[in-house]
Amino acid sequence: MAASGEGKGPAAPRFNVRKVAVLGAGVMGAQIAAHLVNVKVPVVLFDLPAKEGPKNGIVTKAVEGLKKLKPSPLGVPEDAALIQPANYEEHLGLLADCDLVIEAIAERMDWKLDLYKKIAPHVASHAIVASNTSGLSITKLSEALPEAMKPRFCGIHFFNPPRYMYLVELIATPTTKPQILDDLETFVTSGLGKGVVRAKDTPNFIANRVGIAGMLGTMREVEKFGLTFDVVDDLTGKKLGRASSGTFRTADVVGLDTMAHVIKTLQDTLSPETDPFYGSFGTPEVLKTLLEQGNLGQKTRAGFYKKVGRDILRFDLARKDYVPGGEKADEVYGRMLKKPAGERLKLLRNATGAQGQFLWAILRNSFHYAAVHLATIAETARDVDQAMRWGFGMKQGPFELWQEAGWLQVAQWIQEDIAAGKTLSDAPLPEWVFKGPVAEAGGVHTAEGSFNPTTGKFEPRRVLPVYRRQLFPELLRGEAGPRFETAGTTVHEDRNLRIWTLDQEVLIVSLKTKMHTISPEVCEGLQQAIEIAEKDYQGLVVWSGDEPFSAGADLESTLPAFIAVGVTAIEDAEGFMQQTMLRLRYASVPVVSAIRGLALGGGCELGLYSAKRVAAMESYIGLVEVGVGLVPGAGGLTYIARRAAENAATSTDKDLLKFLTEGFTAAAMAKVGTSALESRKLGYLLDSDIVVPNKDELLYVALQQAKSLYDSGYRPPHKRMFPVAGRSAKATIQGQLVNLRDGGFASQHDFHIASLIANVVTGGDVDAGTLVTEEYLMTLERRAFCELVQHPKTQERILGMLSTGKPVRN
């Protein structure tokens, strides 16, 4: 259950986690340690002593492995060095300094208990000890603990990969002290940036229980309706509002051995008495066959699918071999899935084709399963829906969709299907589905809260101070709460942006354009926002309630003017964008950009010209114009030149070229930071900027920053001239570019663009050390941009990007 943060007092975490110990450097332990490093928490990673070689061998090998893993568990690979390696033979003493111990060793009760016995004398008397087990009973694990440790023990179930998966399930035992769970929830939410759901101590907890039962059910229905994997994936991916890899490709990515392991836990820990769907938990024939063949999915390059050259083959059970794949679902179902929920489910249920019936069947099964199990696995329906959103990448959880489609009507359909023997189990829907508050309210989520079948009441979110940091938490359908689209006081709104305030102190500007691209109208709106902020507010925060921060300049919006008027239209638009950036930078109140997701091209520049940036850990920032055959044209290159001068000014080395190289390379190669930390390394965030682990806390932190800058007597920077590296540096860069081109590493057009970039960042044809203004460099930028816009190869790249979304190499 997520929670709200009513009340007053500090919203800062009170449980001070100075250091964490992670026990077990396997798949999960090593990645959890990496994520702790990402969010600046010191961590010591333990494993068994190696039998040969240095005793820390197992851990150091695992830490090395982190650098190569994809997607990267680390914000920047070199931070792997910050993980302190340890083993149980030599370093148990290190546990004394840890406020939290996370156990993530192999899934064996006896091994875990042995380890707890070993560490108990060394763990600090206040420390929380939590197990990452996915299948074992937390209560059983706790029973063998020393009495003093029991109140501080609980489950902490991360999902793989832990850096990217938002869900963490926390599980209490009957002896866990409630304060401990609140403390841990606070740390996991704000410190690690995760979404916490509290689960009951039942096999596989909430997300895996519902998710894996759902996958097994889906496989049953696939057999029943005789569908192929590629068609099923086409139906059960994005179109259904689920992870885009669908059912079977997801299984390939997860690993079929891991899948088999989780299925086995379901089989071993449940029974027909504890789970009436037990009959559908048998390992599917196809999975058995693939496992026997050693085809474990992506890691062995073959699973349900196999890539051969450019072709994707799919496994065919009858032939026990791979056959050509790529078959798509019938288009009619794609259209049905776009209809409003009520109509959608009705159409699917009445469909005569196998694909439609299949879709209804898997949705119905998911509703049926969730309703039958709600009371045993979770406190409220909210926990189930959040777990499925955050742990399985679903856009909506089962209860939300059911409710949206019309609660009683869908319940009726499920009941009819149960009676007709079409369901996976004949377990009846619980009484609360048809009678009492849920039936009256038309669903489980209401303005009052979400339904708890044990108390028979709708219960509000848990109140913890940390949730005051989430001004606009993710809401489930049917839930009431503040919405960023309408909250606060609107000062100005049009179709491009909204200028508004929550507290009458700081002004907020939120972009509304597609992918939050920046058109001349958006620039006008930004300038207007600055004007209003300067007059009546302490500062301006650039924040949008949904991702991305901004995908950059709106190329399409300038196209008609370009065709009608020619290149001067582009030059005007570029000039206007540049002026907007300077207006931001020299505003008399601080402008704070709150970045999450993509901040590309113009979006990156918007951040760069702000007084300060507050960025979610998952921010991907870069100047990517080269990809479409252009150069950064809204001050990005000017920034690179200025930064080089500023850095050189604080160094004894006055060779500007050295300070330019990093920025030049990033722009010329269109590098994008794969995290906020890497974006900082590329120079797109500064050391003084703030990286926020939880995306939902971004606005809160940005507002605080704006106020504190204002309170500290903010004044914009001086408008001063700065030295550029000049023609000699340009010649040096150019020499290297020639080598790249002649060596076949860059095309002639890439060479041309990079030369233009070199010309701008070095200040062009001037002596080294010449003092220039930002406006001067922006003129060079604009010229380069306009020259390229007219270049046929650039036009080819732009058109390619607009039509296919992929970069054209030419």
User: Which residue, 48 or 439, has its beta carbon nearer to ligand NAD?
Assistant: 48
User: Which residue, 160 or 412, has its beta carbon nearer to ligand NAD?
Assistant: 160
Q: How deeply is 7 buried, as exposed, middle or buried, from its count of CB atoms within 10 A (0-12, 13-18, 19+)?
A: exposed
User: Which residue, 2 or 58, has its beta carbon nearer to ligand NAD?
Assistant: 58
Cβ 53 to ligand NAD shortest distance, Å: 15
Cβ 33 to ligand NAD shortest distance, Å: 11
Kind of pairing between the strands at 167-171 and 153-158: antiparallel
Say how far apart CA 73 and CA 93 lie, in whole Å.
28
User: Which residue, 130 or 351, has its beta carbon nearer to ligand NAD?
Assistant: 130
Cβ 210 to ligand NAD shortest distance, Å: 15
Residue 806 host element (H or E)? none
User: Which residue, 48 or 740, has its beta carbon nearer to ligand NAD?
Assistant: 48
Confirm if 728 and 762 have CB atoms less than 8 A apart.
Answer: no
Residue 576 is which amino acid? Answer: F
User: Which residue, 104 or 630, has its beta carbon nearer to ligand NAD?
Assistant: 104
Phi-psi region of 572 (alpha: psi -120 to 50; beta: other; left: phi over 0): alpha
User: Which residue, 62 or 476, has its beta carbon nearer to ligand NAD?
Assistant: 62
Cβ 299 to ligand NAD shortest distance, Å: 12
Say how far apart CA 18 and CA 101 lie, in whole Å.
12
User: Which residue, 261 or 335, has its beta carbon nearer to ligand NAD?
Assistant: 261
Q: How deeply is 763 buried, as exposed, middle or buried, from its count of CB atoms within 10 A (0-12, 13-18, 19+)?
A: buried
Is the previous residue joined to 71 through a cis bond, with omega within 30 degrees of 0? yes
* Nearest residue relative to ligand NAD (C-beta): 26
User: Which residue, 104 or 518, has its beta carbon nearer to ligand NAD?
Assistant: 104
Confirm if 622 and 604 have CB atoms less than 8 A apart.
Answer: yes
Q: Token pair of 5, please? A: 């943060």
Cβ 62 to ligand NAD shortest distance, Å: 7
Cβ 113 to ligand NAD shortest distance, Å: 10
Residue 220 is which amino acid? Answer: R
User: Which residue, 24 or 539, has its beta carbon nearer to ligand NAD?
Assistant: 24
Say how far apart CA 574 and CA 778 lie, in whole Å.
9
Footprint of ligand NAD (CB under 6 A): 24-29, 47-48, 58, 104-107, 111, 115, 132-135, 158, 160, 258
Percent helix, strand and coil across the chain, each to the nearest 5? 50, 15, 35
Cβ 18 to ligand NAD shortest distance, Å: 24
Sorted by sequence, the CB contacts under 8 Å of residue 51 that are 6+ apart come out as none
Say how far apart CA 285 and CA 406 lie, in whole Å.
36
Say how far apart CA 527 and CA 315 lie, in whole Å.
57
Residue 480 is which amino acid? Answer: A
Cβ 111 to ligand NAD shortest distance, Å: 4
Cβ 23 to ligand NAD shortest distance, Å: 7
Helix, strand, or coil (residue 740) = helix
Cβ 61 to ligand NAD shortest distance, Å: 10
Q: In 3D, which of 507, 509, 506 has the Cα closest to residue 707?
A: 506
Q: In 3D, which of 210, 133, 199 has the Cα closest to residue 171?
A: 199
User: Which residue, 25 or 388, has its beta carbon nearer to ligand NAD?
Assistant: 25
Say how many residues make up the chain. Answer: 810
Residue 255 is which amino acid? Answer: G
Cβ 51 to ligand NAD shortest distance, Å: 11
Residue 50: phi and psi, rounded to 5, are -70, 145
Residue 626 is which amino acid? Answer: V
Cβ 493 to ligand NAD shortest distance, Å: 44
Say how far apart CA 404 and CA 83 lie, in whole Å.
46
User: Which residue, 108 or 715, has its beta carbon nearer to ligand NAD?
Assistant: 108
Sorted by sequence, the CB contacts under 8 Å of residue 445 that are 6+ apart come out as 381, 382, 385, 399, 400, 403, 451, 476, 477, 478, 479
Say how far apart CA 608 and CA 596 lie, in whole Å.
14
CB atoms within 10 A of CB 12: 11
User: Which residue, 36 or 502, has its beta carbon nearer to ligand NAD?
Assistant: 36
Q: Would you give the DSSP letter of residue 553? A: B
Cβ 190 to ligand NAD shortest distance, Å: 22
User: Which residue, 25 or 138, has its beta carbon nearer to ligand NAD?
Assistant: 25
Cβ 158 to ligand NAD shortest distance, Å: 6
